[in-house]
Structures are given as structure tokens and as C-alpha cells.
């Protein structure tokens, strides 16, 4: 994959993702999850004109990976939908989770729920799918827009974070495994 060439001068991202001393793990995961959500939302926003019902009739990450939407509440049985519709559902759903004070408490001293980490894992797993779709279906447009260094740096930060805290299963990362190995090889532990 030629995708890994350009990244921003971003210091050591492996160190940047580590839990700061004295920091609560849930708090750290929450703050970073919100940051990744915002970054991915912004990155996807730059290519929405290329990601249409026609060009991306299926939410995929290459020929072997197709994603169907289900949120477990309003959509219980996974539905096949276009990438823009899937990503819209995903971002709306994720925003609702992030805005839920019982799940992501914003007030100091309010405890995180017991299921917080499993919810954060679900959010991050789904956000990964947006990166995977962008890399597989829209990388030429990303390059055309001069956004590849930004995308690569954001993705590399995301991957180091989810690896550091074991937040996404390896099999879920398969659509971008080659890219992940390239991006992370330069900064081995």
C-alpha cells in the first residue's frame, strides 16, 4: 500500500497515547474517543462529495469487507445500506452515545458506568470502519485534496491508541492490516 508514505511531524504517537500518570483509564479513553470521533467526522467531511449513494452503494472496505448497520435499539437486525447512509447512521449513533451523560459523564466526580469500556470499544470499532472505507474507496480523492498526511497521522494515532488499550480486536482491523503494519513499524515499541 502506498498510503503510508505521508504523515505529519507528530512526535512520538506511541508515547502520546499512554495513560498519563494519575489519570483514570475511563476518563482517558473517553477524552480520546471524543477526539477521534471529531477527527473522523472532519476527515470524512472532506470527501462526502465523492462518497455518494451511486459511487458507494454498499458500505465496504475493499471487496472482502462489507458492513451492515444495526444499533441494537431502533435497528436490531443489520441492514445493508450505502456508505453515506451507514456513516450518517454511525456518526449520529456515536454522537448520541458521546452526549449521553450516563455513559460519558462530563461532570468531575461522576463515575463511569460498568459497561463504559465495552461501549467505547463498540464506538471505536465502528469509527475504524470509516477509516477503512476512506482508505479503500476514497484514497485517490484524499490525495487530490492534499489530505493524506492528515488522514495518515490521525489513523496512526487512532491505531496506537486502540492497540495500547486493546480496544479493537485484531480481526476487526483486518481490512487495513497491511497499512497498520507499515504505519506502526516505524515506531516499534
- Residues annotated in a binding site: 51, 56, 133, 138
Alpha helices (H) in 46-176, listed in sequence order: 83-99, 116-144, 148-164
Buried b vs exposed e over 134-147: b needs ≥16 C-beta within 10 Å?
bbbbbbeebeeeeb
Instruction: With beta carbons less than 8 A apart as the criterion, state whether 177 and 4 touch.
Output: no
Query: Annotated binding residues for Zn(2+), as ranges?
Result: 51, 56, 133, 138
Give the separation between CA 102 and CA 54, rounded to whole angstroms: 39
Cα atoms found within 13 Å of the Cα of residue 100, Cβ hemisphere only = 13
Amino acid at each position: 500500500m502506498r498510503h503510508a508514505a505521508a504523515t505529519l511531524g507528530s512526535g512520538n504517537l506511541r508515547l502520546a497515547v499512554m495513560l498519563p500518570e494519575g489519570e483514570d483509564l475511563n476518563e482517558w479513553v473517553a477524552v480520546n474517543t471524543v477526539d477521534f470521533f471529531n477527527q473522523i467526522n472532519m476527515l470524512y467531511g472532506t470527501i462526502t462529495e465523492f462518497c455518494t449513494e451511486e459511487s458507494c452503494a454498499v458500505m465496504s472496505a475493499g471487496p472482502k469487507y462489507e458492513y451492515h448497520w444495526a444499533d441494537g435499539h431502533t435497528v436490531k437486525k443489520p441492514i445493508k445500506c450505502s456508505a453515506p447512509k451507514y456513516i450518517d447512521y454511525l456518526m449520529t449513533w456515536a454522537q448520541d452515545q458521546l452526549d449521553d451523560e450516563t455513559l460519558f459523564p462530563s461532570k468531575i466526580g461522576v463515575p463511569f458506568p460498568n459497561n463504559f469500556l465495552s461501549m467505547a470499544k463498540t464506538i471505536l470499532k465502528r469509527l475504524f470502519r470509516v477509516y477503512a472505507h476512506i482508505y479503500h474507496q476514497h484514497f485517490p480523492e484524499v490525495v487530490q485534496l492534499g489530505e493524506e498526511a492528515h488522514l495518515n497521522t490521525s489513523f496512526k494515532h487512532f491505531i496506537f491508541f486502540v492497540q495500547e488499550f486493546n480496544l479493537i480486536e485484531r480481526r476487526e482491523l483486518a481490512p487495513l492490516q497491511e497499512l497498520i503494519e507499515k504505519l506502526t513499524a516505524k515506531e516499534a515499541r
